[in-house]
Chains A and B, each alone.
Chain A
């Protein structure tokens, strides 16, 4: 469906667009971010600096970006998908060659006024490209091998670049989100069955190759897997993160120790307490009720994205909204599994709550796409 098929008159225009924003979604995003400010204030020991205040500023900027993106017609975003994707890939390559090494991985590129993490951008542009691709592709061709191979390459190329950084968490997110969009677009079941089979094979290859010359992962990645499988074997070394995170979480109980009363985070037992492990502080201070509330807020965001997608009249709007939802879901699902000891520590932040600029900006821009789909739906 091309933009010519849109009935421009049937879509809101001008300032009236603001009325057609998905306001419940906007409020949900703001409340989740609000939880983030509360927690960042708490882990800093009751202080706006160094985390809560910059995070709030970035959130305001992000909301602005979201509104701007939401006001721009959805077909514009569809039409620039290829360009956005190519720019992201170019940036990833730039990181490969000119990037700054931070935290043992090459992830950042310094573009003067801020440090950009192209892998974050990649998460959303790859979803956009896939949505645009399936919008363009006649549905009956979507399961033909040649037309399956093409999106697969679109996903795998950036994934490999990200994996080289190395950033296992983001690569998993990229693949899973891409796969999700392909599944939604109607690609045949059999392909997914094959991929899952291959993944099982790969996992066993990863373990088989350990210690040989051609081992597939870095040693630290193997160690993370080991300690995930049995954190108790090295409680003070590599298993420290998982053990301490479970202790903090578990000591929260039903209703938690109370705001700013968490002992584990305040006494620095929790590593990365303001970034990847911020959920443990929330769980320690607000208990099971607090954790469940945040989880429900997240799920409501998913629900509103899916509702927008189902109501949309064109494939791009549907697929991009669902793709954003899947990406968002993967963020918090992987992060929470990690801190609850259900998944290895892979370095995925808790979306909108963890301290971090790139991720928040990119996520809010992505929700801008959902907003745009909502606003520009023919009525």
Chain B
């Protein structure tokens, strides 16, 4: 093919023209790139540099060590122990499922944990670490560490977890901690950033929850340089946090341990108040549970076992449970009458077995009647008619006021969950709450601690301490915070007539030490340790007309949940009161039979600060008591050797 030079000349010129044009376009584009580069690198440099720093530097919070809790003698109730956990970074792991499968061949991974980890992984970006397994043993961690090459993205980590060495003994007092939940966060306006630390533990129940403020401490922080996967390359600086304050409780772990064991399988509670300081020496509620279960995350099966138990192991019956105080309230009524000067010790009331009040017949517990009854006899034999009569004379408002002075119907400020205030009703209360007028029948019911009257075992113990000392003893749970002694609960004189108090105490002495007293069978015979007490039996049902017609039904013929509550309050030594105790056995029957022996045993344990000599018990009881002591010694939780809390 032959071409003319002219053609070629033209084509070449066109090519050169277009080449220059295209070259120009390219130059223009390069200029655009340079401008863009300038914009990013010069105009916006500061902003991007900041972003780069944010990329690179990560502030990691350092969880503070939670304050530890001790009993009054320095025995550990709650402490922190290293816990090993396994973290997975999904991005580093690659095939997450394969890695999990390999890991679960090495160590036991509960299906629940895996499922929870999967949910977390779906919600968070793939470079964030997620806890796969918690509370592992050192052996498990070693296995994982040895097999690290086969487990990409898996890192063992060490953290702190809460341990309750006393197990169920202090479940209701100290409570327990658990990982922060979304619900916890939603309740707070501006949550402490430390709560965002994965698996950070906060108090959920009891003392742990109530004194979260001092126990938690403040978070430290470290600035670390991280790479794109969030892996820490080096630490730039670190500011240690402030550990939480150590707390010493007024409770005596040994006594608490005994009390808890003595209550055994009953649905019951016992409170021991130190009359000198208001210290709660023991505050036991049975049945109990192991708080360590909750720290790990309790299984659904274990939890429903606890919630479905009719004996309500999760409820703290000492402060949260309120019961009609029954006859233990009679001291308050008599004291109100004495202070008003309405009765003297010699005044008597005729008890025919009932009292007719505005056309309705109120029975004494003793159908045959007590005959002529004076103050001392009324307490000793717990005559109801005497108090019906007395209460009508005194009037409910005075009784209610006296009850409040004794610490009933008022809330004692204790750092425990759901502290109940109980109820000491008066006219005003009924008008306000029920919108009804107070009836004289209400006063009659209140006089024997029934009707609207409600008190918690802790309140009854405080009442007993106040009767025993004449001072406004207030309960104290925390002995010291970080070594700083907390104010004593000894209280000051309540300004009551000492003679009146003495008469009441005399009556209580008779209850326990007079052959005809209701608490005589559970007396203490050691000299200098004798106690004053008062039994109570409170009805939990209304006696129907049909039942009344059929006569008294014996308690043990009733289903458990309709039986009477058994109560007993006492103080000792009589001459120089040291401890005041209240006991309630839910649906236990009579106070003198079900509650008084427990109160006496706990009292002796407290007085002797350990197992009492058999000589303190009445002669006839000693062999039975000895057997009981031996049995309890076996059953008591050996807190000196806490169970291995690792996952088996």
Closest to A336 in B: B33
Contacts of A251 in B (CB 8 A): 45, 48-49, 51-52
Contacts of B10 in A (CB 8 A): 139
User: Shortest CB–CB separation between residue B315 and chain A, in angstroms?
Assistant: 47
A184 touches B52 (CB 8 A): no
Contacts of A250 in B (CB 8 A): 40-41, 44-45, 47-49, 51-52
Task: Say whether A100 faces chain B, with CB atoms less than 8 Å apart.
Answer: no
Which of B27, B36, B45, B49 has a CB less than 8 Å from the CB of A299?
Answer: B27
Task: Say whether B37 faces chain A, with CB atoms less than 8 Å apart.
Answer: yes
Contacts of A254 in B (CB 8 A): 41-42, 45
Question: Which parts of A238-278 form the interface with B (CB within 8 Å)?
Answer: 244, 246-254, 263-264, 267-270
Per the bound structure, the CA–CA distance linking A295 and B1 in Å amounts to 43
Task: Say whether A283 faces chain B, with CB atoms less than 8 Å apart.
Answer: yes
A340 touches B37 (CB 8 A): yes
Task: Say whether B82 faces chain A, with CB atoms less than 8 Å apart.
Answer: no
User: Shortest CB–CB separation between residue A165 and chain B, in angstroms?
Assistant: 24
B51 touches A247 (CB 8 A): yes
Question: Which parts of B15-45 form the interface with A (CB within 8 Å)?
Answer: 15-16, 18-20, 22-23, 26-27, 29-30, 33-34, 36-38, 40-42, 44-45
A269 touches B33 (CB 8 A): no
Task: Say whether B111 faces chain A, with CB atoms less than 8 Å apart.
Answer: no
Per the bound structure, the CA–CA distance linking A329 and B233 in Å amounts to 39
Stretch at the interface among B223-231, B422-430, B530-538: B223-231
> Given A184-B22, A333-B29, A249–B228 Cβ distance below 8 Å?
no
Which of A267, A287, A315 has a CB less than 8 Å from the CB of B15?
Answer: A315
Closest to A263 in B: B56
Contacts of A136 in B (CB 8 A): 1
Task: Say whether B14 faces chain A, with CB atoms less than 8 Å apart.
Answer: yes
Which of B1, B33, B36, B226 has the most C-beta atoms of chain A within 10 angstroms of its own C-beta?
B33
> Given A139-B11, A268-B228, A340-B37, A236–B56 Cβ distance below 8 Å?
no
Task: Say whether B545 faces chain A, with CB atoms less than 8 Å apart.
Answer: no
Per the bound structure, the CA–CA distance linking A340 and B19 in Å amounts to 27
Q: Is the interface of A mostly helix, strand, loop or mixed?
A: helix
A252 touches B41 (CB 8 A): yes
A253 touches B37 (CB 8 A): no
Task: Say whether A366 faces chain B, with CB atoms less than 8 Å apart.
Answer: no
Contacts of B48 in A (CB 8 A): 246-247, 249-251
Per the bound structure, the CA–CA distance linking A186 and B3 in Å amounts to 16
Contacts of A325 in B (CB 8 A): 23
B37 touches A292 (CB 8 A): yes
Task: Say whether A228 faces chain B, with CB atoms less than 8 Å apart.
Answer: no
Task: Say whether A180 faces chain B, with CB atoms less than 8 Å apart.
Answer: yes
Which of A253, A306, A309 has a CB less than 8 Å from the CB of B45?
Answer: A253
Which of B20, B36, B49, B125 has a CB less than 8 Å from the CB of A236?
Answer: B125
User: Shortest CB–CB separation between residue A160 and chain B, in angstroms?
Assistant: 25
Contacts of A303 in B (CB 8 A): 23
Interface 1/0 per residue, A202-234 and B, CB below 8 Å: 000000000000000000000000000000000
Task: Say whether B55 faces chain A, with CB atoms less than 8 Å apart.
Answer: yes
Interface 1/0 per residue, A64-101 and B, CB below 8 Å: 00000000000000000000000000000000000000
A186 touches B22 (CB 8 A): no
> Given A288-B42, A326-B22, A336-B33, A138–B1 Cβ distance below 8 Å?
yes
User: Shortest CB–CB separation between residue B544 and chain A, in angstroms?
Assistant: 70
Closest to A186 in B: B14
Contacts of A283 in B (CB 8 A): 37, 41
Per the bound structure, the CA–CA distance linking A138 and B8 in Å amounts to 9
Task: Say whether B7 faces chain A, with CB atoms less than 8 Å apart.
Answer: yes
Per the bound structure, the CA–CA distance linking A319 and B22 in Å amounts to 12
User: Shortest CB–CB separation between residue B234 and chain A, in angstroms?
Assistant: 11
Question: Which parts of A291-313 form the interface with B (CB within 8 Å)?
Answer: 291-292, 295, 298-299, 302-303, 306, 309-310
> Given A268-B228, A269-B227, A309-B19, A247–B45 Cβ distance below 8 Å?
no
Contacts of B47 in A (CB 8 A): 250
Which of B19, B34, B229 has a CB less than 8 Å from the CB of A184?
Answer: B19
Which of A306, A341, A342 has a CB less than 8 Å from the CB of B19?
Answer: A306
Task: Say whether A372 faces chain B, with CB atoms less than 8 Å apart.
Answer: no
Contacts of A326 in B (CB 8 A): 22, 26
* Residue tally, chain A, CB below 8 Å to B: 54
Which of B22, B37, B55 has a CB less than 8 Å from the CB of A322?
Answer: B22
A140 touches B42 (CB 8 A): no
Per the bound structure, the CA–CA distance linking A310 and B15 in Å amounts to 8
Task: Say whether A191 faces chain B, with CB atoms less than 8 Å apart.
Answer: no
Task: Say whether A47 faces chain B, with CB atoms less than 8 Å apart.
Answer: no
Contacts of A373 in B (CB 8 A): none
B125 touches A184 (CB 8 A): no
Which of A263, A269, A295 has a CB less than 8 Å from the CB of B30?
Answer: A295
B42 touches A267 (CB 8 A): no
Contacts of A252 in B (CB 8 A): 41, 45
B226 touches A267 (CB 8 A): yes
Task: Say whether A3 faces chain B, with CB atoms less than 8 Å apart.
Answer: no
Contacts of B37 in A (CB 8 A): 249, 283, 288, 291-292, 295, 336, 340
> Given A186-B14, A318-B15, A337-B33, A302–B23 Cβ distance below 8 Å?
yes
User: Shortest CB–CB separation between residue B418 and chain A, in angstroms?
Assistant: 44
Per the bound structure, the CA–CA distance linking A299 and B26 in Å amounts to 8
B228 touches A269 (CB 8 A): yes
A138 touches B3 (CB 8 A): yes
> Given A268-B227, A318-B15, A333–B30 Cβ distance below 8 Å?
yes
User: Shortest CB–CB separation between residue A89 and chain B, in angstroms?
Assistant: 26
Contacts of B12 in A (CB 8 A): 315, 318
Per the bound structure, the CA–CA distance linking A318 and B13 in Å amounts to 12
A253 touches B49 (CB 8 A): yes
Question: Which parts of B88-130 form the interface with A (CB within 8 Å)?
Answer: 125, 127
Per the bound structure, the CA–CA distance linking A292 and B33 in Å amounts to 9
User: Shortest CB–CB separation between residue A292 and chain B, in angstroms?
Assistant: 6
Contacts of A185 in B (CB 8 A): 15
Task: Say whether A147 faces chain B, with CB atoms less than 8 Å apart.
Answer: no
Contacts of B14 in A (CB 8 A): 139, 186
Contacts of B49 in A (CB 8 A): 250-251, 253
Contacts of A23 in B (CB 8 A): none
Closest to A326 in B: B22
B38 touches A288 (CB 8 A): yes
> Given A184-B18, A299-B30, A267–B56 Cβ distance below 8 Å?
yes
Contacts of A329 in B (CB 8 A): 26, 29
B229 touches A268 (CB 8 A): yes
User: Shortest CB–CB separation between residue B277 and chain A, in angstroms?
Assistant: 59
User: Shortest CB–CB separation between residue A344 and chain B, in angstroms?
Assistant: 15
Per the bound structure, the CA–CA distance linking A136 and B1 in Å amounts to 9
Contacts of A319 in B (CB 8 A): 15
User: Shortest CB–CB separation between residue A199 and chain B, in angstroms?
Assistant: 17
Per the bound structure, the CA–CA distance linking A336 and B10 in Å amounts to 37
Per the bound structure, the CA–CA distance linking A303 and B227 in Å amounts to 41
Per the bound structure, the CA–CA distance linking A246 and B47 in Å amounts to 11
- Residues in chain A within 8 A of chain B (CB atoms): 1, 136, 138-140, 180, 183-186, 236-237, 244, 246-254, 263-264, 267-270, 283, 287-288, 291-292, 295, 298-299, 302-303, 306, 309-310, 315, 318-319, 322, 325-326, 329, 333, 336-337, 340-342
A selection of 14 A-B contacts at a CB cut-off of 8 Å is A139-B7, A183-B18, A185-B15, A236-B127, A244-B228, A247-B52, A251-B52, A253-B42, A254-B41, A268-B228, A283-B37, A288-B37, A298-B30, A341-B40
12 more A-B residue pairs beyond the given contacts A269-B56, A322-B19, A333-B29, with a C-beta to C-beta distance below 8 A: A136-B1, A180-B22, A183-B18, A183-B22, A186-B15, A248-B52, A249-B41, A250-B40, A267-B233, A268-B228, A306-B19, A318-B19
Question: Which 4 residue pairs of A and B lie closest in terms of their CB atoms, listed nearest first?
Answer: A250-B48, A139-B11, A251-B52, A267-B227
